[in-house]
Amino acid sequence: MKCYYHPDREGVFKCFKYERHLCSDCIRCQNTKAYCKYRDGCAVYLLWDEENNKRII
């Protein structure tokens, strides 16, 4: 699968809620406030969250 935003790139991470594949540049939770039943096991959310924490610190 290709990245949802970059058709020329490989989408290595998948948002299960929106069923979109994302490349490493696009990794970002689409809607952090909405309930998502996949969030606990979501690589997109976890990695995005880690990046956010780094910036805050």
Instruction: List contacts with Zn ion (CB under 5 A).
Output: 3, 5-6, 23, 26
Give me the residues paired with residue 14 across strands: 21
Judged by beta carbon, residue 3 or residue 36, the one nearer Zn ion is: 3
Cβ atoms within 10 A of the Cβ of 50, count?
Answer: 10
Distance of closest approach, residue 40 Cβ to Zn ion, in angstroms: 24
Distance of closest approach, residue 45 Cβ to Zn ion, in angstroms: 16
Distance of closest approach, residue 35 Cβ to Zn ion, in angstroms: 25
